[in-house]
Structure 1
Amino acid sequence: VGTLDPIPKAVHDENCGSNVKDGNNNSWWRSSALEKNKVKVRRKLREPRFCFQTRSDVDVLDDGYKWRKYGQKVVKNSLHPRSYYRCTHNNCRVKKRVERLSEDCRMVITTYEGRHNHSPCDDSNSSENDGFTSF
């Protein structure tokens, strides 16, 4: 284990405020201990996003993939809610947002986040089918 050396006065003044003026030289280790306890925040890598605007009477268009709805939210200044979906294929982390355009309710805005790691028709590994047998 390394030894702790006192922080130089100029740096100490910035970090600890009035403790140097008071002659309290024991406060330097407190700020160091607090800095060690800070958790590094890992920034989430942003997945690529693709947005499509389509005229449709139905909210969810058939794009060849299977989706599970996991949320819905009221959108400010809009009469129509926004729906959130996840791809049901195992280990596929693609998400989809679906909402209607507030100015023209016939227009559906679909936003995809991420890239599928499987083909559209490949639903044999879908989590919906796990543990079920078709008759």
Structure 2
Amino acid sequence: VERVERVEKARYVRISGDGYRWRKVGEKIVKGNPHPRHYYRCTSSARCLARKHIQTVVDNSDVIVTYYKEAHSRCTSR
């Protein structure tokens, strides 16, 4: 399961809460983009496989793209 969300940074603060708990597990500079990519995993359940990474768009630093990978399993949103 993959899902992509694209939002403006100004609105990101208000709508970023998806009801799950996330822990940052890494950060990396991607070739061709001066903004780091941030990696997270779901901590709502010890066995949940959900992951996401967040990156600022290279040609518009006001837009953030969130990529979700895997579905939430064995956990519930807050």
TM-score normalised by length of structure 2: 0.85
| RMSD of aligned residue pairs (Cα, Å) | 1.8
Count of aligned pairs: 74
Q: Highest Rg: 1 or 2?
A: 1
Write the letter of the residue equivalent to 1:50. Answer: R
**Correspondent of 1:92 among 23, 34, 48:** 48
**1:54 equivalent in alignment to 2:7:** yes
**Correspondent of 2:77 among 88, 108, 120:** 120
Write the letter of the residue equivalent to 2:4. Answer: C
Q: Give the C-alpha shift of residue 119 in structure 1.
A: 2.0
Distance, in Å, in 1 between the alignment partners of 2:54 and 2:35 is 10
Q: Give the C-alpha shift of residue 79 in structure 1.
A: 1.6
Partner of 2:64, secondary structure, is strand
Q: Which has the higher contact order (CA 8 A, sep 6+)?
A: 2
Partner of 1:73, secondary structure, is strand
Partner of 2:47, secondary structure, is coil
CA deviation vs aligned residue, 1:19-65 (integer Å, no higher than 9, x gap): xxxxxxxxxxxxxxxxxxxxxxxxxxxxx111111112458x21111
Q: 2:63 matched to which residue of 1?
A: 107
Structure 2, unmatched stretches of 5+, are none
Larger helix share, 1 or 2: 1
Which aligned pairs between 1:20-99 and structure 2 lie closer than 5 A?
48-57=1-10, 61-88=16-43, 89-99=45-55
Structure 1, unmatched stretches of 5+, are 1-47, 122-135
Distance, in Å, in 2 between the alignment partners of 1:75 and 1:62 is 25
Q: Give the C-alpha shift of residue 103 in structure 1.
A: 0.8
TM-score normalised by length of structure 1: 0.51
Runs of 4+ in 1 over 2 A off after TM superposition: none
